[in-house]
Structure 1
Amino acid sequence: MEQNKENSHCAYIPKISRFWLFFLVPVLFISFFYQLGAYGLLNNNEGLYGEIAREMLESGSYIIPTLNYVPYIEKPPLLYWLIAISYKIFGVNEFAARLIPALSGAAICGSIFVFARRLKMIDVGGFAAVIMATSLGYIIFSRMVFFDGLLTAFLSLSLLSFYTWYNGGQRLFLLLCYGFLGCAVMVKGFVAPVLFGLVVGGFLLWERAFWSKLRKCLDPIGILIFVAIVLPWHLWASLEEEGFSWFYFINEHVLRFLDLREPKDYYTGPLYYYIPRILGYVFPWTPFLGLLALRTQPSQEVLKKFLWLWFLVPLAFFSLSKAKANYYMIVGIVPMCLLVSMKITELLKDNRWCPILVCGLLSVFLGLVLWGGAYFFPIKGFEIYQPKSPYLLFFVAILSVLGMSLFYIKRQGIFMLFSVAAISGGLFITILGSAQQAEDFFSGKEVGSFLASKDEVYFYKNYEELSSIVFYLKKPVTIVDSVSSDLRYGEEKGDSNRFCDSAQMLKEYENRPREEIYMVVHKKSLHDFQNSFLKTKFNILFSKENIFVLERTDLPKKEL
């Protein structure tokens, strides 16, 4: 009888899958692809990585990445390769630059849905995929040119493949595990196998199957696949670039973890640094994390062990590491969403809908308070981020209240999911509009477009804070008195013409008396510039938020 019941349940899976796909596909499109190129590349990371891929495509040199046309070897090149392919297909623009991280974000959501469906937990997969796709922190990072979105995708696929192999024994998934792990290394280096090894090793020890499963894990073909993906570029780069091995393997991997890297291009933080950030990653679903403290009927206990280790190992690793960044713990969002989704389905199965209702109402309330506060009580100095119309707020509030009311009446989780997703969608559209309004504050697109036709462009001291300008210039700049950490290696190993001090700049200025020379200064360095002897040689032509464009003083004035 039980077997017939299971077969009957399986017969309905395609229909249930179609329902979830009907709900999930538009959510994925809006979250990851809607107006993906609607605003300029942001300074710092987006400008850096988008420009590296552009230079790679322009030069045809795919082994040693360059930034401002000097070597940049902090990370492996897989992200740059994929973005360069995107540029080749769609042109060099914001959409093409962000497409790879966005695809990574959507792919992870789809992958956990397929993974859970394979384990006959299709509702868990649907809940987890929608929660991830409507978590604002995750959406924002997935729409930015970062390594960590692609790293999360490949590391997650590797761990999901491992568990599928562990659970079912199919060798194909073990081989896929090795392949995805190799790709993760090619995204961000050897942090991927370290995290993978700690998670899998801890899981096998917990299951008391370490030695028996370890022998089966060490598949010769799988190892060969991993080596074939990882070794060629690392070997080629070591042979082609003198100093690569020490800088990449020791300085970038080991010394960064120990806070001994030179130059120091990161910031540190306390042990609890990632706790508030994790809460922000999944907003407005944050209250649902509290459900994990509730007891439910035991089910899928082995999978839960694996997921908890998957979350806690990166948390411990990055918390202990001296180098911190807001986005490092994105790698832990997949197990977090799966654990929350499993808890929701278990509570619904036990007819314990009240905790879910409370969490849903709290999520809706917090979302509306944040949104309404931004509209009705904008913070002084941040008016540019104020939502422009209350109508979307009222409409989403009505939808959310309706969804929670239906959940209360019907006791079906899909209504709660719809309610919180509506709040997330409204907040996301508002954030997207604010990003477009504040483009000049975060991006140098307009400045770069203006200077693109000029012959000589100099940056004073800063590069990272002005990096998006170079993407729109589509040519190198010369940096005066550089303080750039990202360009330090290139400054020492690359083209010395890309760097000069103030005295050399003054000499260049005097040797070219009638040529246009433009200087770009970030607000943080404007005081230093005004106190230097270059001050008398340049006038401020115009400014855009934090960026000042200066022209030489001895040329006739022109209309902008």
Structure 2
Amino acid sequence: MKFGIDRPSKLFQHWEQPVPAWTLSIIWIFLISFVAFIWHLGSIGLVDETEPLFAEAARQMTETGDWITPYFNGATRFDKPPLIYWLMAIAYQTIGVNEWAVRLPSALAAIALTTMGFYTLKQFGFPSPAAAETAAVPNLPHKTSRQRWLAAWIGAAMMALNTHTIVWARTGVSDMLLSGCMGIALLAFFCGYAQPARPQVQARWYLAFYVLSALAVLTKGPVGIVLPVLIIGAFLLYVGNGWTVLREMRLLRGGLIFLAIAVPWYILVIQANGQEYIDSFFGYHNFERFTEVVNRHDAPWYFYFFAVLVGFAPWSLYLPVAIARLRIWQRTHWQQQPRATHLGLFVSSWLLIIFSFFTIAVTKLPSYVLPLMPAAAILVALLWSEQITRPQISRSVLITGIVNTIFLAALAGAVLYSPNWLGDDPTMRNLPEVIRQSGLLPWGAASWAIAAIVMLVLLLRRRGRWLWLVNFMGFFAFIVFAVMPAFSVVDGLRQLPLRQLSATMLQAQQPQEILTMLGFQKPSLVFYTERPILFISDPDDLEDQLEQLFEQNTPSVLMVAFPHKLREADLEPEQYQLVEQAGAYQLIRIQLPLKEN
């Protein structure tokens, strides 16, 4: 049985002309970027527990004028370098202190990365060395041009429309900014590497690599340059032209540019904070995260196999085929090919180095593999651009397509069953029932079920060229009709009550009254009240804390707590006044000194 493709239509041939193709491409990138990164970006509140830490540190920079040392809740915050805070602070000063401003740097980084991925694939997205050789023949450019346009369109869609990228591009933390800076830097390197006959163009791309690598270091520290060096080093070692390329890159000049951008802030922050900063940032947040388990973020060695499978689904199913088709073991063959044909090899090094690096690291988080998603998208896009333009799809892609169909059907079932996995968060115990009543589950399940049915029909009717499009449409529908509305539902249960209590606290706070939180930490209260919050983690410590506050002439405290935490602290109803209840939280006032039980 052969699974063939139709001949290119006249309409597609028309799209290949420069003006229609670029017009269509701009519309395409705008559409996928809008849905993935911009649509409803600021419609839900900041999500505890990490996002408000970044948002408030940036707000305090604008309030204090100290753009060197980040602070949160009156204490230094040395977790991350300042670029994400600076960009948020600039956004605050431009569009105001709100959720849009917090998330805008992440969204823009994702859009820039998607656009750069499109450009790189359009220029160098040859699915094979043979395709590049065909492109060099004056009378035979048509097929390879079509393949590169297809690779660019498909690759941009995969870069934007995957779970990992969508989540972190809509979150005001440093992960997407790191992925954007590092990813664009690596693609800039390749654009320079692939054009040895154009030294001026090559020099500009290498300059962009140095600048963006420096910005990556200002986003998340040494990892911003360590990973690119490992990726490029492994790639050059494989192709065997390392010394030539390093001379082209003008390492001395590039290194000075890199240092001039990346180093000054580190010097200033160390001057301002001394050994405390060195121990916290370089010691704890870098060295210890790699060598030890930090904040209980441990996982088995195979954790990232599942993280990539789920985070890049459904495209991840095609990654093994996309890597295997390159035949990396044929090193001599690849060393004889022009540089412009090496994109698949380069992104393979990119993916494997990042995957291996964080697999070795002891502390494990799903977000750590976010920077490999662009490489995965390029690999799968190269695979599909080849499959679409060949007489019949390969047996390996056919088998993967069958697995893909089963996977989509399983996703449909998982969506319907998902409420049974919810309910662990004490702030929204009734989430499973609310999700069931929202009507979102049938929409989400239908998105994947219809996609699975269509994919099965296409396989049976020998239309394998459209399998990638079915995945795209299924994912697109799932995001639009299920995921985005679900964000609002969860926000209404988990974060909206805290925003409501924040507004009440600002209205109800009396002179010299202290704002406190008992039994847990929700940093969003600090951001929304724009006030310092005293966190009392252990209910058993409440009485001693209240005594200390009374000795400091504090007349009363406003406290946010769960009811069961008040009982754990042995507080009786007559010892406090209930000010407001929102969701699972209570806002109470305790007059000092505390009344005896």
Which residue pairs with 1:332 in the alignment?
Answer: 372
Question: How many Å separate the matches in 2 of 1:469 and 1:157?
Answer: 35
Q: Does 1:190 align with 2:222?
A: yes
Q: Encode CA deviations 1:244-286: one digit per residue, 9 max, x unaligned.
A: 23322233222221117xxx43511111111101111112323
Which residue pairs with 2:547 in the alignment?
Answer: 506
Q: Does 1:292 align with 2:326?
A: no
Question: How many Å separate the matches in 2 of 1:175 and 1:344?
Answer: 32
CA offset at residue 294 of structure 1? 5.6
Which residue pairs with 1:521 in the alignment?
Answer: 561
Question: How many Å separate the matches in 1 of 2:287 and 2:446?
Answer: 51
Which residue pairs with 1:452 in the alignment?
Answer: 506
Q: Does 1:92 align with 2:97?
A: yes
CA offset at residue 174 of structure 1? 0.7
Question: How many Å separate the matches in 2 of 1:377 and 1:143?
Answer: 22
CA offset at residue 384 of structure 1? 2.6
CA offset at residue 347 of structure 1? 2.2
C-alpha contact 2:102 2:172 (8 A) present in aligned 1: yes
The letter for the 2-side match of 1:313 is: I
Question: How many Å separate the matches in 1 of 2:177 and 2:412?
Answer: 30
Change (3 A) 1:198 1:391: closer
Among candidates 563, 567, 571, match of residue 530 of structure 1: 567
Q: Encode CA deviations 1:472-528: one digit per residue, 9 max, x unaligned.
A: 111111223589xxxxxxxxxxxxxxxx97524224247768x552112368xx54x
Q: Does 1:551 align with 2:589?
A: yes
DSSP-derived class of the 2:68 partner: coil
Question: For 1:165-184, what aligned pairs fall within 5 Å after superposition?
Answer: 165-169=192-196, 170-184=202-216
Question: For 1:202-217, what aligned pairs fall within 5 Å after superposition?
Answer: 202-217=234-249
C-alpha contact 2:447 2:478 (8 A) present in aligned 1: no
Change (3 A) 1:149 1:433: same
Which residue pairs with 2:531 in the alignment?
Answer: 475
C-alpha contact 2:408 2:451 (8 A) present in aligned 1: no
Among candidates 127, 131, 150, match of residue 158 of structure 2: 131
- The farther-off stretch of 424-433 and 399-408 is 399-408
Which residue pairs with 1:383 in the alignment?
Answer: 433
Question: How many Å separate the matches in 1 of 2:325 and 2:106?
Answer: 37
Q: Encode CA deviations 1:96-140: one digit per residue, 9 max, x unaligned.
A: 211111111122111100111122623212111101222123211
- The farther-off stretch of 178-187 and 400-409 is 400-409
Among candidates 39, 44, 50, match of residue 39 of structure 1: 44
Which residue pairs with 2:330 in the alignment?
Answer: none
Q: Encode CA deviations 1:46-104: one digit per residue, 9 max, x unaligned.
A: 11111111111222211101001221112111001101111111111112211111111
Question: How many Å separate the matches in 2 of 1:502 and 1:214?
Answer: 64
The letter for the 2-side match of 1:552 is: I
Q: Does 1:437 align with 2:495?
A: no
Question: For 1:9-408, what aligned pairs fall within 5 Å after superposition?
Answer: 12-119=17-124, 121-169=148-196, 170-242=202-274, 243-259=276-292, 264-292=294-322, 295=325, 302-353=342-393, 356=397, 359=400, 363=404, 366-367=407-408, 369-371=410-412, 374-375=415-416, 378-379=419-420, 381=423, 382-386=432-436, 388=439, 390=442
* RMSD of equivalent CA atoms: 3.3
Q: Encode CA deviations 1:264-313: one digit per residue, 9 max, x unaligned.
A: 43511111111101111112323333433664799976322211110111
Question: How many Å separate the matches in 1 of 2:81 and 2:175?
Answer: 13
DSSP-derived class of the 2:507 partner: coil
C-alpha contact 2:304 2:369 (8 A) present in aligned 1: yes
C-alpha contact 1:69 1:476 (8 A) present in aligned 2: yes
Question: How many Å separate the matches in 2 of 1:13 and 1:357?
Answer: 33
CA offset at residue 197 of structure 1? 1.1
CA offset at residue 319 of structure 1? 0.9
Change (3 A) 1:403 1:13: farther
Change (3 A) 1:211 1:522: farther
Question: How many Å separate the matches in 2 of 1:501 and 1:233?
Answer: 40
Question: How many Å separate the matches in 2 of 1:274 and 1:184?
Answer: 22
Which blocks of at least 5 consecutive residues in structure 1 are unaligned? 1-7, 484-499, 556-560
Change (3 A) 1:268 1:403: closer
Change (3 A) 1:249 1:373: closer
Which residue pairs with 1:492 in the alignment?
Answer: none
Question: How many Å separate the matches in 2 of 1:22 and 1:405?
Answer: 29
DSSP-derived class of the 1:552 partner: strand
CA offset at residue 439 of structure 1? 1.4
Question: How many Å separate the matches in 2 of 1:303 and 1:277?
Answer: 24
C-alpha contact 2:451 2:471 (8 A) present in aligned 1: no
The letter for the 2-side match of 1:505 is: L
Question: How many Å separate the matches in 2 of 1:10 and 1:296?
Answer: 29
CA offset at residue 437 of structure 1? 1.2
Question: For 1:474-493, what aligned pairs fall within 5 Å after superposition?
Answer: 474-480=530-536
CA offset at residue 187 of structure 1? 0.3
Change (3 A) 1:367 1:172: same
The letter for the 1-side match of 2:475 is: S
C-alpha contact 1:44 1:467 (8 A) present in aligned 2: yes
CA offset at residue 24 of structure 1? 3.0
The letter for the 1-side match of 2:311 is: Y
Change (3 A) 1:132 1:349: same
DSSP-derived class of the 1:271 partner: coil
C-alpha contact 1:538 1:551 (8 A) present in aligned 2: yes
Which residue pairs with 2:142 in the alignment?
Answer: none
Question: How many Å separate the matches in 1 of 2:118 and 2:72?
Answer: 38
